[in-house]
Amino acid sequence: MKNISKLILLSLIAVFTSCNDAIDIDQVGRLRAENAFSSVDDLEAGLLAVYGQLDLTPEIALSANFTDEIAIGFDSGGQGFALYDFVLNAESAAASSFWVRNFIVNNRATVLLEAAENVEILDEDEQERFNNVLAQTHFIRAFSNFELLIYFSPDPRDDSTLAVPVVDFVPEQLTFTALRDTTGEVWDYINADVNRALELSTVEFGGGDFTPTFASVQAINALRARMAITRGQYGVADALATDLLNTFGLADRTQYQNMFLDSDNTEIIWKLERTLNDAYDGQGATGSVFAGGWAGARFAFGSATLDGSPYFEMDRSVFDLLDPADIRFTVNVAPTSVISNDYLNDPDPVNNDILVIQKYIGSEGQPLMNDLKVFRSSEMLLIAAEARAAGPAQDLAGAAALIKQLRDARFGTDQPLDVYNSQQEAFQAILQERKIELCYEGHRYKDLKRLGPDANVGVDRDPIACEIQSGACELPATDFRFTLPIPIVEINANPGIAAQQNPGY
């Protein structure tokens, strides 16, 4: 009897736990794909995740580090040296960042669009919200494909050149690969999305639901203006840009200053919000095009002051263009900067001339964190000016008038009207104005690629600073490195695309 009781005890131990309890486990807190989107509310939440994928800091980092916006800082820890030396290849962060990031946006947007097909719409109000989700999703997808086009097409004005694969669907298999489509095909894809967005969007500037941190009809049109100037469609560019300039107007000096504290939106057509505790609230990858994080951390570790450990400083080629009477001097040059009285003859320019970049001073109490301005009306003005100078009419005076309009606003006083003796002179003036109006906002690389060859302007750094570093001072805008290479990370997965590598790499 005693034996039997012990045997029963052992058998009980053997069976008191059934095996399924151990091998059929659903982790808690999981949202399966099939349950993710069932209402318009869900789609709106999904749209916020897609928005969250958008980032301008890689453009800001590439443009600053590669062109002539920054010099190596006195407090450098070695950040960005290779890119400053114009080392750019298929292994570079730049190639990978632009390729991968934008294709992920393209994919997430497409996932949302496909999910939307199964959502039931209950009433008219929901229909409008639904339409606006679709409009913004198409717009974001267009925005990202446009970025791919600019950076990877050797010539966005030549439809026959190779750009990037057009993938307007969610691939069934993850092993899916595609070869590059032509620039013309990518333009068609972008235009289709832009047109669909325009059809669906009901949010307009001046309307109650307009907010500069989300895309509106005006943001779509600003994208169209930028697309047009990129593609060389000057008439379209001029019309759209001028219209937007008139709609928003230019900020006055106070508004301009407040715009970079994120407390004024006069001039802002669309910006990406950056706020405390969001996915970008941190330093990101300093000195790398992968970037992420606070925009200001592209230049300094701690704050936009001398004490914020600026690893990149303002290049003298920018500083020398800034007039202290210009509000852009106030905005861009930190008051804590150390400015050499006699820079050209200074025995220790590293320590005696420290130009601290202040464009991203911080907001919400967080140094270096600012909203990312995507489209500003001043950019529209400069697009219009470029379109007039470059258009068939070669309206150089019209371009000069627009430049004056901008400077008047920035100085707060009447500025002289430029006279351009040639189209090239006009282009040079426009490039120069863009260099200071849009500095550290990620434009310079694209501007040099688009306009540099015609203006005969390339990367032209302050010779003292670049000689101290490594002697990498100049690079013509015709250089192959103004088009990014197909990244190695893509070639590893998609070897067929290796044969389509961009020229020079």
Partner 1 sequence: MKLKLTWLLTLFMAFVIQFSFAQEKTVTGTVTTADDGLPLPGASVIVKGTSRGAQTDFDGKYTIKVNQGDILVFSYVGMKDAEKLVGSGSVYNAVLELDSTLDEVVVVGYGTQTRATSKVSSVRVSAETIENRPNASFVQTLSGQVAGLNITTSTGQPGGNSLVQLRGVASINGNTEPLFIIDGAPVDEDNFRSLNPQDIASIDVLKDAGATAIYGNRGANGVIVIKTRQGGLEQGLRMNYNGFVAFSTLQDNDYNRMSTQQLLRYERDRGAGAGAGGSVSPFNPGDGSPLTDAQIDAAPNFDWTDFFFRTGITQSHTLSLSSGGENASQFTSFGFQDTEGILQQSDLKRFNFRTNVTGKSSNDKFNYGTNLTVNYSTSEEPNSVGTGGINQNFVLGAFQSVPYLTPDDYVNGEQLTSPVTFTNTPLFLVDKLANFSRVEEEVKIVASANFNYKLTDWLSANAVLSADYQNEVFTFARGPLGFNAIFFAGDEDPNSAGTQVTTPGFVDQQTIREFTYNQVTSLNASKSYGKHTFDVGLYTEYFKAHLKSFGFEARGLNPATFSPGDGSGFVDDVAAQDVFIDLARANILSSGLFSYFGSFDYDYDQKYGFGATVRRDASSRFAGSNRWATFYSVSGRWNISNEPFMEDSAFNNLKLRASYGTAGNQDITGFGPFSALDLTLDLFGTFGGYGNQNSIGLTQFANRNLRWETVGQLNVGVDFGVWNNRLRGAIDVYERKTTDLFQTRPLSAVTGTTGQSFNTGIVFNRGIDFQINYNIFQSEAPDGFNFELGLVGNYNENELQEIPSPNGEIPGLGRNGGKLGEYFTLRYAGVNPANGNLLYLTADGDLTENPDADTDRVWIDKNIIPDWNGSVNFNFDYKNFFLTTQWNYALGVDRFDNDYAGLIDPTNVGQFNFSTDILRAWQQPGDVTDIPRFNATNLNSFGGSDRFLRSADFVRLRFASFGYSFPRTTLENTGFTSARVFFNGENILTFTEWRGFDPETRSNGSREYPTPRTFSIGFELGF
Binders of partner 1 in range 277-316 (CB under 8 A):
277-279, 281, 302-304, 306-309
Instruction: Determine, following the binding rule CB under 8 A, whether residue 103 of this chain makes contact with partner 1.
Output: yes
Gap between the Cα atoms of 337 and 352, Å rounded: 10
Residue 370 CA to residue 364 CA, distance in Å, equals 9
Rounded alpha-carbon distances, angstroms, from residue 499 to 82, 179, 180: 26, 10, 10
Pick from 99, 139, 270, 319: which binds partner 1 (CB under 8 A)?
99
Query: What span, in angstroms and rounded, lies between the C-alpha atoms of 291 and 141?
Result: 21
Smallest distance, partner 1 to C-beta of residue 359, A: 12
The residues in 221-260 that bind partner 1, with binding defined as CB under 8 A, are none
Nearest CB to partner 1, comparing residues 137 and 233: 137
Q: Tokens for 108?
A: 């997430």
Q: Which of 182, 195, 213, 423 binds partner 1 (CB under 8 A)?
A: 213
Assess 7 for contact with partner 1 (CB under 8 A).
yes
Q: Which is nearer to partner 1, 418 or 474 (CB)?
A: 474
Nearest CA among 497, 482, 501, 375 for reference residue 438 = 375
For residues 234 and 270, which CB has a smaller minimum distance to partner 1 in the complex?
A: 270
CB–CB of 405/422 below 8 Å? no
Kindly identify the residues of this chain, within the stretch 425-444, that bind partner 1 according to CB under 8 A: none
Check binding of 1 to partner 1 (CB under 8 A). no
Nearest to partner 1 of 70, 383 (CB atom): 70
Residues 331 to 350 in contact with partner 1, rule: CB under 8 A: 347-348, 350
Cβ–Cβ < 8 Å for 106, 163: no
Of the candidate residues 107, 221, 288, 317, the single one contacting partner 1 (CB under 8 A): 107
Out of 131, 182, 195, 275, point to the residue binding partner 1 (CB under 8 A): 275
Choices 359-367, 437-445, 454-462, 475-483 (CB under 8 A): range interacting with partner 1: 359-367
Q: Say how far apart CA 70 and CA 65 lie, in whole Å.
A: 6
C-beta separation of 445 from 67 below 8 A: yes
Q: Is residue 49 within the footprint of partner 1 (CB under 8 A)?
A: yes
Tokens 């490594």 sit on residue: 470
Contact residue for partner 1 among 1, 17, 416, 503 (CB under 8 A): 17
Nearest CA among 448, 481, 446 for reference residue 92: 481
Per the CB < 8 A criterion, the answer to whether 119 and 87 are in contact is: no
d(C-alpha 185, C-alpha 62), whole Å: 26
- Asked if residues 294 and 284 have their Cβ atoms less than 8 Å apart, the reply is yes
Least Cβ distance, residue 483 to partner 1 (angstroms): 16
Does 42 engage in binding with partner 1 (CB under 8 A)? yes
Helices 93-116, 57-66: inter-axial angle, 10-degree rounding:
160
Please give the single-letter amino acid code of residue 94.
A
Q: Is 118 in the site for partner 1 (CB under 8 A)?
A: no
- Of 391 and 463, the one with the shorter C-beta distance to partner 1 is 463
Q: Which of 470, 480, 500, 504 binds partner 1 (CB under 8 A)?
A: 470
Question: In Å, how far from its chain's centre is CA 319?
Answer: 23
Q: Give the count of beta carbons closer than 10 Å to the beta carbon of residue 11.
A: 10
Selected binder of partner 1 within 119, 170, 321, 464 (CB under 8 A): 170
Location of structure tokens 């590439």: 62
The dihedrals phi and psi of 268, each to the nearest 5 degrees, come to: -95, 120
Residue with Cβ nearer partner 1 (1 or 13): 13
Cα separation of 332 and 307, whole Å? Answer: 16
Instruction: Give the residue with the Cβ less far from partner 1, 43 or 385.
Output: 43
User: Using the rule CB under 8 A, which residue among 210, 343, 411, 505 binds partner 1?
Assistant: 505
Check: CB of residue 186 under 8 Å from CB of residue 166: yes
Which one of the spans 116-124, 202-210, 398-406, 491-499 is the region binding partner 1 (CB under 8 A)? 491-499
Residues 52-81 that bind partner 1 (CB under 8 A): 52, 54, 75-78, 81
Count of residues engaged in binding partner 1, rule: CB under 8 A: 108
Considering only residues 374 to 413 of the shown chain, the ones binding partner 1 according to CB under 8 A are none
Could you count the other beta carbons within 10 Å of the beta carbon of residue 239?
17
Question: Which of 114, 364, 419, 480 forms a contact with partner 1 (CB under 8 A)?
Answer: 364
Pick the closer one to partner 1 by CB: 103 or 329: 103
10 makes contact with partner 1 (CB under 8 A): yes
Q: Roughly what angle, to the nearest 10 degrees, separates helices 377-390 and 217-231?
A: 30
Nearer to partner 1, 343 or 411 (CB): 343
